[in-house]
């Protein structure tokens, strides 16, 4: 008969006791002593065996994820990393940053890993996290040694009711990206039922707490106020990242971390990842060699430093219209911002969307002497004016002509469409093209102290009342004028007017 978990020496001791008792008989006291001794030896044997078994399993887990890590690294030399199985898409304020799921069967086959790939006890594939770029990854396994050596409740939930990760040790391999676990259970997020149903988690909005395992022994816990910074670790590829301060920070001075991509959001503003600011939005959108328009990109708030003095300020950038790179400078929306090119006090400029404001004076932004493109774009609730929401562009405008928008220094192609010259189809077709005043003129007359003059688009050579297509009046109204020469929806009688306000406004941008 073999006693599982007992050493040969302990088995021999028990045999001697048994032989003694069978020869001479035994008393109640002796029987109790024998039972106690057997219990102690059995317990020691079981704990010894359990510790040995957990140690073997943990060694297997570490070897497995190290092996998978090596195979992924080799695969990544010529390929993008494969997506995880059953992944949860990770976002920060609606922008994708990473994926977390399993290094499952199909993935293991794709990277040609043939040495298992599952936890030896839980029979689950290991957790796998990759960045949106699919260039950096992190793997996670749960070690069990701590629980099995320290806990004498041999029928705990770890053995009876399924997998209990709560007292297991997270062990990671790969970059310091931040594999996510549910705070109170250690459950990987791809195993959380509520997230499985929606397949994504926005770390910039969540009020739930999660743990981010950046490296072994370096775990940060929190809600969106902490976890939104996982976008930084994703951008940095995990290099130099830590959560030991209670927040996720990366060492941007590390030579391995790029300083040439864009980081930030609409709340704090965006800059180059090394902390530098571009001169204008266009310098982010179409950067010089060595910098990349990648990372936290898109329309929104950016820091610019047109004076190159290291101070800078936040502006609204349009990174999509006509190739992007537009710096919004002025806004005409209400009585505090009357003039498109000189709106005065910038803190009174109405925002183009909630929480976003623009500078109020083109002179505070256009500081160099290079020619700029100009964009005029309007927003309105008026059906009559809605076609003028299409942006209008002027190319190569010179700074000396600010306040004197004549045709003299405008360059670029005329509007598209054969009917442009007659003005008969001027809404969706003729004015949707890029234009420079060859057919339509962009005019303004202002400079008086009351800023009451108008800003208008007219048919070239007909700047009078009958030739206006569209006007921003000094009296703070959008206007469409009747004209026998301008057929179509523009022909309104009487004048079609719309008061300027937060829903009816025009913006000017430079590039």
- Please provide residue 145's backbone torsions phi and psi, each rounded to the nearest 5 degrees: -60, -40
Q: What is the number of other CB atoms lying within 10 angstroms of the CB of residue 454?
A: 16
Tokens describing residue 428: 């969706």
Domain end call among 216, 250, 284: 250
Q: Which residues of 467-483 are buried (b: 16+ CB within 10 A; e: fewer)?
A: bbbbbbbbebbbbbbeb
Q: Which residues of 206-243 are buried (b: 16+ CB within 10 A; e: fewer)?
A: beeebbbbbbeeebbebebebbbbbbbbbbbbbbbbbb
Quick one: DSSP state of residue 335?
T
pLDDT of residue 387: 58
pLDDT category at 162 given cuts 50, 70, 90 is low
> Does 284 map to a domain?
no
Maximum distance among all Cα pairs of the chain, rounded to whole angstroms: 130
Tokens describing residue 159: 């053995």
- Distance between CA atoms of residues 113 and 68, nearest Å: 7
Tokens describing residue 202: 């926005």
> Does 344 map to a domain?
no
Overall domain count for the chain: 2
On whether both 61 and 207 belong to a single domain, the answer is yes
Domain hosting 192: range is: 52-250
What 3-state DSSP class applies to 397?
Answer: strand
Rounded (10°) CA dihedral 505, 322, 292, 397: -80
Question: Among candidates 61, 59, 100, which has minimal Cα distance to 81?
Answer: 100
> Does 296 map to a domain?
no
Q: What is the number of other CB atoms lying within 10 angstroms of the CB of residue 345?
A: 10
> Does 307 map to a domain?
no
Tokens describing residue 18: 């048994």
36-40, 144-148, 303-307: which is most confident? 303-307
Domain end call among 250, 276, 300: 250
Beta strands of 2-71 (E only): which ranges?
none
Give percent of the chain above pLDDT 90: 23
Assess whether pLDDT exceeds 60 at residue 72: yes
pLDDT category at 96 given cuts 50, 70, 90 is confident
pLDDT of residue 414: 34
More confident residue, 72 or 6: 72
89-93, 182-186, 437-441, 469-473: segment of lowest average pLDDT: 437-441
On whether both 79 and 211 belong to a single domain, the answer is yes
Q: Which residues of 58-80 are buried (b: 16+ CB within 10 A; e: fewer)?
A: beebeebbebbbebbeebbeeee
> Does 346 map to a domain?
no
Tokens describing residue 323: 């190739």
On whether both 244 and 382 belong to a single domain, the answer is no
pLDDT category at 188 given cuts 50, 70, 90 is very high
- Distance between CA atoms of residues 269 and 209, nearest Å: 25
Q: Is the peptide bond before 57 cis (omega within 30 degrees of 0)?
A: no
73-77, 124-128, 160-164: segment of lowest average pLDDT: 160-164
Question: Among candidates 1, 7, 19, 113, which has minimal Cα distance to 66?
Answer: 113
- Distance between CA atoms of residues 6 and 19, nearest Å: 18
Assess whether pLDDT exceeds 60 at residue 168: yes
260-270 residue pLDDT tens: 889 888 777 78
Beta strands of 95-248 (E only): which ranges?
95-102, 127-131, 137-143, 169-174, 179-182, 200-202, 210-215, 218-222, 241-242
pLDDT category at 411 given cuts 50, 70, 90 is very low
Assess whether pLDDT exceeds 50 at residue 447: no
343-368 residue pLDDT tens: 333 333 333 333 344 445 566 677 77
> For the chain, how many helices (H) and strands (E)?
9, 24
Domain end call among 226, 250, 274: 250
Quick one: DSSP state of residue 83?
P
pLDDT category at 495 given cuts 50, 70, 90 is low
What's the mean pLDDT when you consider all of the chain?
Answer: 70
On whether both 389 and 245 belong to a single domain, the answer is no
More confident residue, 375 or 238: 238
* Tokens 């395992």, residue located: 213
CB 394 within 8 A of CB 436: yes
- Distance between CA atoms of residues 496 and 16, nearest Å: 112
> Does 438 map to a domain?
yes
> Does 318 map to a domain?
no
Pairing of strands 200-202, 85-92: parallel
- Please provide residue 49's backbone torsions phi and psi, each rounded to the nearest 5 degrees: -70, -40
> Does 265 map to a domain?
no
On whether both 209 and 64 belong to a single domain, the answer is yes
- Distance between CA atoms of residues 491 and 507, nearest Å: 24
**DSSP H or E stretch at residue 317:** strand 313-318
Quick one: DSSP state of residue 438?
S
218-258 residue pLDDT tens: 999 999 989 988 988 887 788 888 888 888 887 755 555 55
418: left (phi over 0), alpha (psi -120 to 50) or beta: alpha
């Amino acid at each position: 008969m073999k006693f599982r978990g007992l050493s040969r020496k302990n088995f021999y001791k028990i045999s001697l006791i048994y032989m003694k008792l069978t020869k001479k008989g035994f008393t109640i006291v002796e029987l109790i002593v024998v039972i106690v001794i057997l219990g102690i030896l059995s317990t020691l044997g079981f704990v010894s065996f359990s510790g040995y078994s957990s140690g073997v399993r943990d060694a297997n887990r570490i070897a497995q994820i190290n092996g998978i890590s090596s195979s992924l690294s080799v695969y990544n030399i010529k390929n993008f990393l494969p997506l995880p199985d059953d992944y949860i898409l990770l976002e920060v304020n609606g922008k994708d940053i990473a994926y977390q799921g399993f290094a499952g069967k199909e993935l293991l086959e794709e990277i040609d890993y043939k040495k298992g790939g599952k936890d030896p006890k839980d029979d689950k594939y290991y957790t796998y996290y990759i960045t949106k770029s699919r260039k950096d990854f992190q793997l996670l396994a749960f070690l069990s040694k701590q629980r099995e050596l320290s806990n004498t409740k041999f029928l705990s939930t770890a053995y009876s009711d399924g997998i209990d990760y709560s007292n297991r040790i997270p062990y990671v391999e790969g970059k310091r990206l931040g594999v996510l676990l549910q705070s109170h259970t250690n459950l990987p997020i791809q195993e959380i039922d509520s997230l499985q149903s929606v397949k994504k988690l926005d770390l910039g909005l969540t009020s739930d707490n999660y743990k981010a395992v950046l490296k072994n022994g370096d775990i940060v816990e929190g809600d969106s106020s902490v976890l939104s910074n996982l976008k930084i670790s994703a951008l940095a590829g995990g290099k130099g990242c830590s959560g030991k301060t209670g927040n996720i920070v990366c060492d941007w001075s590390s030579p391995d971390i790029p300083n040439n991509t864009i980081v930030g959001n609409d709340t704090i503003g965006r800059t180059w990842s090394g902390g530098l600011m571009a001169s204008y939005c266009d310098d982010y959108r179409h950067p010089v060699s060595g910098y990349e328009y990648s990372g936290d990109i898109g329309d929104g708030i950016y820091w610019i430093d047109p004076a190159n003095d290291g101070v800078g300020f936040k502006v609204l950038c349009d990174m999509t219209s006509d190739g992007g790179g537009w710096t919004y400078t002025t806004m005409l929306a209400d009585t505090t911002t009357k003039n498109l090119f000189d709106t005065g006090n910038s803190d009174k400029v109405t925002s183009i969307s909630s929480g976003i404001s623009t500078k109020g004076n083109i002179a505070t932004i256009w500081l160099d002497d290079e020619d700029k493109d100009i964009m005029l774009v309007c927003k309105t609730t008026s059906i009559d004016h809605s076609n003028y929401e299409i942006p209008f562009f002027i190319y190569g405008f010179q700074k000396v002509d600010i306040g004197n928008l004549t045709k003299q220094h405008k360059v670029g192609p005329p509007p598209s469409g054969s009917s442009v010259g007659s003005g008969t189809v001027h809404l969706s077709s003729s004015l949707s093209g890029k234009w420079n005043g060859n057919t339509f003129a962009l005019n303004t007359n202002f400079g008086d102290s009351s800023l009451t003059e108008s800003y208008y688009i007219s048919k070239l050579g007909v700047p009078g009342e009958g030739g206006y297509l569209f006007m921003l009046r000094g009296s703070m109204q959008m206007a469409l004028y009747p004209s026998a020469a301008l057929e179509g929806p523009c022909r309104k009688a009487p004048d079609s007017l719309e008061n300027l306000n937060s829903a009816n406004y025009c913006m000017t941008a430079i590039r």
